[in-house]
């Protein structure tokens, strides 16, 4: 995990100008409104997903300031993503860190985040989060329990870690547009922390056979769509590594009676945006980048703006013509995002450009677009959205 600097507005501007980008102004948080009706026609649904929520110490301080020094408010920093998240029928985040006990909050290298993160995610419009990451065991079983309890209180479903064997192994079960969706999540590692004694199900580890078995079990239990979140890849590497490519091919090739066992793969961990690709007829996002993170320092010890870039994937699933057939993705898009560590705000880069932001912001947006499309996703219909 890359560490974070404190992240001032001046430092942010200097780093971004070096790569052809500029800091954007913060946005005031909009009031929470009911979720709009389904955005997909004919009983389908639209799913959106975003990258790592990674509250470094600077992010925790920002949330404290946004709450006026009383508690922690994560709604303001996420407000810039709300216009993409809230209208979707189903929105999935990646909660990379676990939550600390009251007053025991910390950033890199051992994360313990304020539980108010969960309320901020819900206010933004998220319905579910993956919770399997290399930081899931940073605070042991107690940290996992605190995290899942806070997500439960916020009304956010979760997959990838558990307080019981059934919860740890089982998927999050969600509904949208008349479909039942099963969400599964797994991580490549836990930074050397062992599973708590007698609790080998506390966090799900990547194992191809198990992932396929879990997906098939979810399908037998009635899931129309199976979504798998994978915390994988190489940090700071724009291209997917060999594990991602090989595992992605094998998982998307897995079928039961000709129907794919997995309908969508959502990747996190690399802290930089990676490509989207359709493999064996199934969309894979190798890496969505970071949704929230402090100003990032890469493995060479340099400030690296890529650690604050991300995407939101948006996929429209259409209802099949007959019961039991496959729900297919008929529209796929990505929205380029930037978390401004100077102001502590999520910025939709296309919206910023529409409001008159300069060429520096355009350079950031175009960098994300080149990376996302680097494996030929344009030919499969992937569009850049707002």
pLDDT given for residue 2 in this prediction: 53
Residue 254 confidence (pLDDT) above 80: yes
- Tell me the pLDDT band of 324, cut-offs 50, 70 and 90: confident
In 3D space, the residue among 236, 374, 360, 371 whose CA is nearest the CA of residue 308 turns out to be: 236
Distance between CA atoms of residues 279 and 250, nearest Å: 10
- Tell me the pLDDT band of 15, cut-offs 50, 70 and 90: very low
pLDDT given for residue 358 in this prediction: 81
Name the percent of the chain lying above pLDDT 70.
89
Within a 10 A sphere around the Cβ of 368, how many other Cβ atoms? 23
Distance between CA atoms of residues 219 and 215, nearest Å: 6
- Tell me the pLDDT band of 347, cut-offs 50, 70 and 90: very high
- CA–CA–CA angle 187, 145, 206 (5° rounding): 15
Segment 31-40, tens digit of pLDDT: 333 444 445 6
Distance between CA atoms of residues 77 and 275, nearest Å: 26
- Tell me the pLDDT band of 344, cut-offs 50, 70 and 90: very high
Residue 30 confidence (pLDDT) above 50: no
Residue 8 confidence (pLDDT) above 50: no
DSSP labels for 223-277? -SEEEEEEE-S-TT-SS--HHHHHHHHHHHH-EETTEES-SEEEEE-SSSB--EE
Rounded-to-5 percentages of helix, strand, coil across the chain: 30, 25, 45
| pTM of the shown model | 0.91
Distance between CA atoms of residues 267 and 36, nearest Å: 27
With contact defined as beta carbons under 8 Å apart, do 296 and 303 qualify?
A: yes
Architecture of domain 37-380: 4-Layer Sandwich (3.60)
pLDDT given for residue 359 in this prediction: 80
Residue 134's Cβ-side half-sphere holds a number of Cα atoms within 13 Å equal to 20
- Tell me the pLDDT band of 19, cut-offs 50, 70 and 90: very low
Lowest mean pLDDT among 13-22, 150-159, 242-251, 270-279: 13-22
**Would you state the structure tokens that stand for residue 16, as one six-digit string?**
């971004």
Residues recorded for the chain: 386
Mean pLDDT of 177-204: 97
pLDDT given for residue 28 in this prediction: 39
Which residue did the predictor score with more confidence, 30 or 350? 350
pLDDT given for residue 41 in this prediction: 53
- Tell me the pLDDT band of 11, cut-offs 50, 70 and 90: very low
Do the bridges between strand 282-285 and strand 276-279 make them parallel or antiparallel, or are there none, so unpaired? antiparallel
- Tell me the pLDDT band of 352, cut-offs 50, 70 and 90: very high
Lowest mean pLDDT among 121-135, 149-163, 292-306: 292-306
- Tell me the pLDDT band of 26, cut-offs 50, 70 and 90: very low
The torsion angles phi and psi of 268, rounded to 5 degrees, stand at -140, 175
Could you state, in order of their start, the residue ranges of all structural domains in the chain?
37-380
Distance between CA atoms of residues 324 and 374, nearest Å: 34
């Amino acid at each position: 995990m890359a560490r974070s600097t404190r992240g001032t507005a001046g430092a942010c501007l200097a780093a971004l100008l070096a790569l052809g980008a500029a800091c954007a102004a913060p946005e005031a948080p909009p009031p929470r409104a009911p979720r709009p009706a389904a955005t997909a026609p004919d009983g389908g649904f639209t799913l959106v997903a975003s990258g790592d929520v990674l509250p470094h110490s600077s992010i925790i301080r920002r949330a404290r300031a946004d709450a006026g020094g009383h508690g922690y408010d994560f709604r303001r920093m996420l407000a810039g993503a709300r216009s993409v998240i809230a209208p979707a029928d189903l929105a999935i985040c990646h909660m990379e860190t676990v939550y600390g006990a009251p007053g025991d909050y910390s950033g890199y290298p051992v994360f313990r985040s304020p539980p108010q993160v969960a309320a901020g995610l819900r206010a933004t419009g998220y319905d579910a989060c993956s919770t399997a990451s290399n930081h899931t065991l940073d605070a042991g079983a107690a940290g996992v329990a605190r995290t899942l309890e806070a997500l439960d209180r916020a009304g956010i479903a979760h997959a990838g870690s558990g307080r019981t064997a059934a919860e740890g192994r089982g998927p999050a079960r969600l509904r949208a547009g008349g479909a039942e969706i099963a969400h599964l999540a797994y991580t490549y590692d836990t930074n050397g922390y062992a599973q708590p004694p007698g609790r080998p199900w506390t966090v799900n580890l990547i194992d191809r056979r198990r992932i396929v078995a879990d997906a098939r079990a979810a399908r037998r239990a009635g899931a129309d769509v199976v979504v798998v979140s994978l915390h994988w890849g190489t940090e700071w590497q724009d291209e997917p590594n060999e594990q991602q490519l090989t595992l992605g091919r094998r998982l998307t090739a897995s079928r039961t009676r000709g129907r794919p066992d997995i309908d969508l793969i959502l990747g996190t961990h690399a802290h930089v945006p990676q490509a989207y690709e359709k493999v064996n007829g199934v969309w894979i996002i190798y890496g969505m980048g970071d949704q929230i993170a402090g100003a990032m320092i890469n493995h060479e010890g340099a400030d690296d703006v890529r650690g604050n870039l991300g995407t939101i994937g948006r996929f429209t699933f259409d209802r099949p013509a007959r019961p039991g057939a496959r729900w297919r993705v008929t529209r796929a898009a990505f929205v380029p995002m930037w978390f401004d560590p100077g102001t502590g705000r999520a910025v939709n880069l296309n919206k910023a450009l529409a409001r008159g932001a300069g060429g520096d912001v355009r350079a950031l947006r175009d960098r994300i677009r080149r990376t996302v499309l680097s494996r030929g996703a344009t030919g499969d219909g992937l569009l850049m959205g707002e």
